[in-house]
């Protein structure tokens, strides 16, 4: 789930929490873990190549509404959305944050309905991001537990006047 970035300044070889980074030249593209991008971006050494904007989220919404199954999203989608939200909060853009949040919630609502269907039929689950696969697996387990409970309920001997 690495994120592509553009290097803003020449970056000598250095250690970043025990990991060697660099040397990199300004203008070069590289891939880092999301937490590394956050640290390097804070020091104005890199910038993400793809930043999710509200407009981009709306494009994903339109595509998701048209797709019968789950539409593809970038592999690090949720991490990038979180980073973008944090970046907007630190730069103090409350109106833009609300629009971004509304678009993100609209997209996740559409995808959640599709993820519920995927949990009912996990063999047909395609284009799942790791976070979504985890969610679908948890839903599938909950559905199995529910089905087991219902079966047990039907097999219990209940005396007249007694409730389950």
Q: Tens of pLDDT along 44-103? A: 888 877 777 899 999 999 999 999 889 988 877 898 888 788 878 887 878 889 999 999
d(CA 34, CA 141) in angstroms, rounded, equals 30
Beta-carbon contacts of 111 under 8 Å, excluding residues fewer than 6 positions away, are 64, 70, 132
Torsion sign (Cα): 131, 52, 30, 22: negative
Output the six-digit token pair for 46.
């890199």
Output the six-digit token pair for 101.
């949040």
Q: Tens of pLDDT along 1-58? A: 577 888 898 888 888 878 888 888 889 888 888 778 878 888 888 887 777 789 999 9
Q: Tens of pLDDT along 87-104? A: 788 878 788 899 999 999
Residues 77, 74, 117, CA angle at the centre, nearest 5°? 80
Output the six-digit token pair for 26.
């300004």
Mean pLDDT of 135-147: 91
7-13 long-range contacts (CB < 8 A, ≥24 apart) are: 7/45, 7/46, 8/44, 8/45, 8/46, 8/47, 9/44, 9/45, 11/40, 11/45, 11/46
pTM (predicted TM-score): 0.69
Question: pLDDT grade, residue 163 (50/70/90)?
Answer: low
């Amino acid at each position: 789930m690495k994120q592509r970035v553009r290097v803003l300044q020449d970056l000598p070889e250095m250690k970043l929490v025990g990991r060697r980074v660099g040397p990199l030249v300004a203008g070069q593209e590289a891939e880092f873990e999301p937490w590394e991008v956050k640290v390097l971006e804070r020091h104005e050494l890199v910038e993400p190549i793809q930043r999710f904007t509200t407009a981009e989220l709306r494009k994903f919404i339109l595509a998701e509404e048209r797709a019968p199954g789950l539409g593809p999203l970038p592999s690090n989608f949720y991490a990038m959305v979180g980073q973008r939200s944090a970046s907007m909060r630190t730069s103090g853009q409350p109106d833009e944050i609300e629009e971004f949040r509304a678009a993100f919630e609209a997209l996740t609502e559409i995808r959640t309905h599709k993820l519920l269907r995927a949990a009912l039929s996990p063999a047909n689950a395609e284009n799942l991001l790791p976070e979504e696969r985890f969610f679908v697996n948890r839903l599938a387990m909950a559905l199995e537990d529910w089905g087991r409970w219902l079966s047990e309920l039907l097999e219990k001997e209940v005396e007249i006047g007694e409730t389950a």
